[in-house]
Amino acid sequence: MLIPMMQDLQAECGYLPPDDLRELARQLSVPLSRLYAVATFYASFRLAPKGAHEVSLCMGTVCYLKGSASISEAICREFKVAPGGTTPDRLFSFTAVNCVGACALAPVMVVDGKYCDGVTPESALEILHGLTAENAEAAEEKTKLKISASSADSAVKQTPPKEAAR
């Protein structure tokens, strides 16, 4: 059950802090290298803190056919961020996702779990320029509420409804 534990840790901290990983390895009596191997193998784990918002751009076939590559380029250029990274001001983390399974909406961008359909380079930039650190706090509050409201499964703790952290 190593992976669910790491998923829970990430859900709590937003990333996998080195000290917590060390502690987890100690408690499970597995080498830290195992955890590191898992953390770097799966795309959904991150070893650095994330931004205030989470932005995923779908790069699935349909979105790609409908121009998501140019949207990605526009975002990276405008906000000086690379896919998988976070903007220098920590406003948002940007991930290019394989497919979010919402192909009828292509091209799709998911901002803090909200699906934006039919985005263009211009509309994507407009949406992202609308993000501020303040509304991030509000979003975080909401997530916290959802965690406390959700019931826990027998062994696996509920993750906050977080979208497409690939």
Partner 1 sequence: MIDALAKFASIADFESFARSLRSQVKTATRSIRLCMGTGCQAKGAARLYELFEEAVKQSGQTGNIEVKCTGCHGLCQRSPLVVVDPAGIFYQQVEEPDVAEIFRETVLGGRVVPRLLYQDPQTGKKLEGAEEIPFYKVQQRIVLSQNGRIDPTKITDYIAEGGYSALVKVLTSMTPEEVIEEVEVAGLRGRGGGGFPTARKWRSCRSAEGSPKYVIGNGDEGDPGAYMDRSLMEGNPHSVIEGMLIGAYAIGSGYGYIYVRNEYPLAVKYLRTAISQAREIGLLGENILGTSFSFDIRINRGGGAFVCGESTALMASLEGRSGEPRAKYVHTVESGLWGKPTNLNNVETWATVPHIINRGGKWFAGIGTEKSKGTKIFSLVGKITNSGLVEVPMGITLRRIIYEIGGGIRDGKRFKAVQTGGPSGGCIPAEHLDARVDYEELTKLGSMMGSGGLIVMDEDTCMVNVARYFTEFLLNESCGKCTPCREGLAQMRHILQGITKGQGQAGDVQKLQDLAEILSGAALCALGTTAANPVLSTIRYFRDEYDAHILDRHCPAKECRGLFLYQIDAEACKGCGICLKNCPVDAITGERKVAHVIDQEKCTRCGTCWEKCPFTAVLKV
Binding mask 79-108 toward partner 1 (x if CB under 8 A, else -) reads ------------------xxxxxxxxxx-x
> Which among 124, 110, 127, 91 is positioned nearest to 164, based on CA atoms?
110
Residues 6+ away with beta carbon under 8 Å from 77 = none
Answer yes or no: are the C-beta atoms of 54 and 97 closer than 8 Å: no
Radius of gyration of the chain from its Cα atoms, rounded to whole angstroms: 17
Binding status of residue 38 toward partner 1 by CB under 8 A: yes
CB of 30 to partner 1, least distance (A): 9
Q: Which of 37, 133, 138, 145 binds partner 1 (CB under 8 A)?
A: 37
Q: Which of 13, 42, 84, 129 binds partner 1 (CB under 8 A)?
A: 42
What interhelical angle do 18-28 and 32-41 show, nearest 10? 120
Residue ranges in contact with partner 1 by CB under 8 A:
1-4, 7, 34, 37-38, 41-45, 59-62, 64-65, 97-106, 108, 113-117, 151, 153-156, 158-159, 161-166
